Amino acid sequence: MPHHITALTGGIFFSLAAGMLWGLVFVGPLLLPDYPAALQTFGRYLAFGLIALPLAYIDRADIRRLTRSDWLAALKLAAIGNVLYYLFLSSAILRAGGALPTMIIGTLPVVIAIAANLLNHQRDGRFPWLKLAPPLALILLGIACVNHVEWTALVQDPAADTTRYITGAALAVGAVVCWTWYPLKNADWLRGHPDRNPRIWATAQGIATLPLALLGYAAYWLWASATQDPLPMPLGPRPWEFVGLMLAIGLLASWLGTLCWNAASQRLPTALAGQLIVFETLAALSYAFWLRGQWPEPLTLAGIALLVMGVIGGVRVKAKTSN
């Protein structure tokens, strides 16, 4: 078998594995609906930070080379791209269910391209607006289809809270904003430090996340005791399930998922790798409907298909290096 075919097959396998692992972050709030979003966020990143410690020890010589400004950049990226992003996402899923927030997050590949244009992030060139418009229209139509199904089911349920659903959708948009800012700023640092290993930078962000997660967890614990919150602290009503799930998400999604994605990126052309990010959305939606114990409605499936077509079409748009 020719080498390029082997690399392509391996790349697709690794990107599928990364998508299935990353999809797990959408499952936590659905499996632990009785745990507040803040506790799930700080628990997940506490686990990720602890996992990063032995990795930092292995690469300690490279870690020592990082300057104070590097650590400050890692702290900002960890605060917005990790903690704030997952706080928004888990809050959105707890309020609006799994389907709509997952679809909104699925727009990221195209939203990042639009943000790169608006913010004149032109090192890679500008994306032609006219070519970005059709995939964006498909994505918006796909989200509208899924939203219609979810909203109709909600309105028919007399016990449902429509305000919670609307705030859930708004929080998912907040998560998209965080994760649009993150890759642009992360790319800036990596391009500004071409001599640094991306693995070291990922570990540094894990280490920077640890104090944020510890502070957040402690603050939530204090707030819960001050307000006499009935939730038993520090590990909630189902401690073993909570700790197990946080460690699983920290290890499988935050670390192993990124490792698989890096392996895929080394084997695939960038344009193809970008399209395969949709595996995360498809995995997360599959998990959400599996946990519901139901098949998606035909209109939901149509919406998912439109989203996938839109993302693939959007990632295929080539940037123009000169205007």
Query: For residue 178, what pLDDT is reported?
Result: 93
Listed in sequence order, the DSSP H helices in the chain are: 3-22, 28-31, 37-58, 60-64, 68-77, 85-96, 99-105, 108-118, 129-156, 162-192, 198-226, 239-248, 257-267, 270-275, 278-292, 298-316
Tokens of 199: 């693995």
Tokens of 316: 């295929």
Query: For residue 85, what pLDDT is reported?
Result: 93
Task: Examine the pLDDT at 109 and tell me if it is beyond 80.
Answer: no
**Exposure letters 250-279 (e unless 16+ CB within 10 A, then b):** bbbbbbbbbbbbebbbebbeeebbbbbbbb
* Mean pLDDT in residue range 247-253: 88
| Rounded Cα–Cα distance for residues 108 and 304 (Å) | 14
pTM: 0.83
Which region among 134-143, 157-166, 314-323 has the lowest average model confidence (pLDDT)? 314-323
Task: Examine the pLDDT at 91 and tell me if it is beyond 90.
Answer: yes
Hey, what amino acid is at 315? Answer: V
- Is residue 220 within 8 A of residue 235, CB to CB? The reply is no
- Between 149 and 118, the more confident residue is 149
Which residue in the block uniquely carries the two structure tokens 């289809």? 145
Which region among 36-50, 63-77, 106-120, 287-301 has the lowest average model confidence (pLDDT)? 106-120
Tokens of 207: 């280490």
Query: For residue 258, what pLDDT is reported?
Result: 79
Q: How many C-beta atoms lie closer than 10 Å to residue 59's C-beta?
A: 15
Residue 126, strand partner residues: 320
Task: Examine the pLDDT at 233 and tell me if it is beyond 90.
Answer: no
- Is residue 106 within 8 A of residue 311, CB to CB? The reply is yes
Task: Examine the pLDDT at 251 and tell me if it is beyond 80.
Answer: yes
**Which of 162, 26, 157 minimizes the C-alpha distance to 91?**
26
**Which of 280, 277, 274, 279 minimizes the C-alpha distance to 316?**
274
| Rounded Cα–Cα distance for residues 149 and 262 (Å) | 36
| Rounded Cα–Cα distance for residues 84 and 37 (Å) | 11
* Mean pLDDT in residue range 257-281: 75
Residue 20 CA to its chain's centroid (Å) = 12
Task: Examine the pLDDT at 188 and tell me if it is beyond 70.
Answer: yes
Phi first, then psi: what are they for 162, rounded to 5°? Answer: -65, -30
Tokens of 283: 């995995």
User: Mapping DSSP to helix (H, G, I), strand (E, B) and coil, where does residue 227 land?
Assistant: coil
Query: For residue 42, what pLDDT is reported?
Result: 92
pLDDT band at 3 (very low <50, low <70, confident <90, very high): low
- Is residue 45 within 8 A of residue 213, CB to CB? The reply is yes
- Is residue 207 within 8 A of residue 49, CB to CB? The reply is yes
Domain boundaries in the chain? Answer: 3-316
| Rounded Cα–Cα distance for residues 87 and 270 (Å) | 29
